Amino acid sequence: MKIAVWHNLPSGGGKRALHQHVKGLTQRGHEIETWSPPGADQSYLPLSDLAREHLVPLAWEHVTKKGLPGKIRGACLDTFAMIRAFEEHCRLCAKEINGGGFDLLYAASSRYMAVAPMGRYVTIPKLLYLQEPSRPLYEALPNLPWAAPELGTGAWKKPRAVAEFLGDFVYVHGLRYLVREELRNIRAYDAVLANSYFSRESILRAYGVNSSVCYLGVDLENFSKQDVVKDGTVIGVGSFNRAKNIEFVIRALGQVSDPRPPLIWIGNYASPNSYLNELRTLARELQVEFIPKNMISDREMIQLLNRSLMMLYAPRLEPFGLTPLEANACGVPVVAVAEGGIRETVLDGVNGLLVDPDEAAMARGVEQLRDDPIYAGALGDNGWKGVREKWSLESSIDRIEGKLLQVLTAARS
């Protein structure tokens, strides 16, 4: 197949998944070219190492206005400007793709606009691999944008409160416009893929669109078990932001009895830096040794995984949970909160422990594995075997290749 790939991804799990798909498909002889705006991450697992890459401008500059009335207008106009910029960018990409003799389009998720309008402009069969819906629009994390603001008693007599109400009204109108466009965009695709059954249900709730599950896999050439001595640490992996729920893990370790293991946390970026400072302060208060490591190489991460006793994992409503499988590939058991797609990758008592979203419950799980190294080793071994049986990169390429062929065959028939 000759496949056009479009994405607008930051560094992180979504980019890693796309890189794996492009790498695996090219190794099987498929011809691939990629398109993206310059703002997509180009340095983390660059696709240019695997395929010809096209960078097409995305001419969007934030709309800023001064004063409260100007900010009210800017909040809405900025959304409209972003949507128009994406449409123009996708038109330019589609013009090149439509004239390039491609069999089909593989579109990935997008920053700013989770479902970009690429599918509306290409004339070839098209598939969307959507990691998750635009979570701020559809989840109460931290707050639903549709909830009316609290203005207080007698607020209508206060000009500033009235202005805040009007500002919220205009801002929400802009979000409604964004939702409308995302619904138009996702319905333009011939097929939508999800990374887990949890994500499939999230897509259905958000967009009313059916999708099919196409599980990701682990690169076993990189993530492998090494013959090293455990150093007594526990490890976490995920960007330094609140959705990864790192403070929960620190509070859980604060309840672990002595000897309390140090926590190494590996992230690909810190957003914002103040959050990382909050984590350091919290760890000091709870007497937890917290060792953040930002933007380290895969090689160093794999070494740290192999030396650790276990992985701790507690992100909020994580769509899939590839990171626990990467830990399992290194023979490391996982203690994870039973939430979101994690329940599909971590099986309680098989390759790790699933605990309630309660810090004391995670603390008990840590103590159980720390105090019973034979049991912890058995869970790690089970995880190592399970990844090779079900979650290998080769099997994930079988899955995505099969889905692409289904779309192409259906279009041709």
Poorest-confidence range of 153-167, 253-267, 268-282, 300-314? 153-167
- pLDDT reported for residue 8: 96
- In angstroms, the first-to-last Cα distance of the chain is 16
CA dihedral 82, 83, 86, 91 (to 10 degrees): -140
SS3 148: coil
> Residue 151 CB: number of other CB atoms within 10 A?
15
pLDDT of residue 139: 87
Give the model's confidence band at 167: pLDDT under 50 very low, under 70 low, under 90 confident, else very high: confident
The closest alpha carbon to 1, from 23, 21, 28, 24, belongs to: 28
Strands 334-337 and 212-213, bridge-based pairing: unpaired
Within this chain, domains 2-217+394-412 and 234-391 share the same CATH topology:
yes
Give the residue among 359, 372, 258 at the shortest CA–CA distance from 309.
Answer: 372
Instruction: Give the span between the Cα atoms of 328 and 389, in whole angstroms.
Output: 12
Cα(8)–Cα(208) distance, integer angstroms: 23
pLDDT of 67 reads 58
Torsion angle, alpha carbons of 197, 201, 206, 212, to 10 = 60
Question: What's the pLDDT at 63?
Answer: 63
pLDDT band (50, 70, 90) for residue 150: confident
In this prediction, residue 161 carries a pLDDT of 73
Look at residue 60 in the predicted model and tell me its pLDDT.
82
- The predicted pLDDT at position 272 comes to 61
Query: pLDDT of 115-129, one tens digit each?
Result: 999 999 999 999 999
147 has a pLDDT exceeding 80: yes
Q: What are 192's strand-pairing partners?
A: 128
Cis status, amide bond into 324, omega within 30 of 0: no
d(CA 77, CA 307): 51
Q: What is the DSSP letter of 396?
A: H
Query: Which of 164-173, 201-210, 259-268 has the lowest average pLDDT?
Result: 164-173
128 within 8 A of 115, measured Cβ to Cβ: yes
- The CA-atom distances, in angstroms, between 238 and each of 12, 137, 162, 243, 381 are 8, 22, 40, 9, 23
Query: Does residue 154 carry a pLDDT above 80?
Result: no
pLDDT at res. 71: 56
User: Would the pLDDT of 10 be above 60?
Assistant: yes
Residue 142, pLDDT score: 78
**Architecture of the domain spanning 234-391:** 3-Layer(aba) Sandwich (3.40)
Please give the pLDDT value at position 149.
78
**What are the structural domain ranges in the chain?**
2-217+394-412, 234-391
Q: What is the pLDDT of residue 263?
A: 98
Share the mean pLDDT of the chain: 92
Residue 168 has pLDDT above 90, yes or no: no
For the residues 305-325, what does the mean pLDDT come to?
96
Pairs from 157-166 (Cβ < 8 Å, separation ≥ 24): 160/68, 163/68, 163/69, 163/72, 166/72
Of 147, 113, 151, residue with least CA distance to 37: 113
For residues 23-36, give the mean pLDDT.
97
Kindly state which CATH superfamily the domain 2-217+394-412 is placed in: Glycogen Phosphorylase B; (3.40.50.2000)
Going from the C-alpha of 57 to that of each of 85, 87, 136, 209, 391, the distances in angstroms are 9, 11, 26, 30, 36
Q: What is the pLDDT of residue 241?
A: 87
Residue 6, phi then psi, degrees to nearest 5:
-125, 140
Do 392 and 329 form a contact (C-beta atoms < 8 A)?
no
Pick from 13-22, 83-92, 141-150, 303-312: least confident: 141-150
How far apart are the C-alpha atoms of 328 and 334, rounded to whole Å? 8
Q: Are 188 and 117 in contact (CB under 8 A)?
A: yes
- Read off the pTM: 0.91
Which of 222 and 64 is assigned the larger pLDDT?
Answer: 222
pLDDT in tens, 345-392: 999 999 999 999 999 999 999 999 999 999 999 999 999 999 999 999
- Contact indicator for 127, 189 with CB cutoff of 8 Å: yes
157 DSSP assignment? G
The mean per-residue pLDDT over the stretch 305-333 comes to 96
pLDDT digits 0-9 by tens, 53-111: 999 999 887 666 565 555 555 667 788 889 999 999 999 999 999 999 999 999 999 98
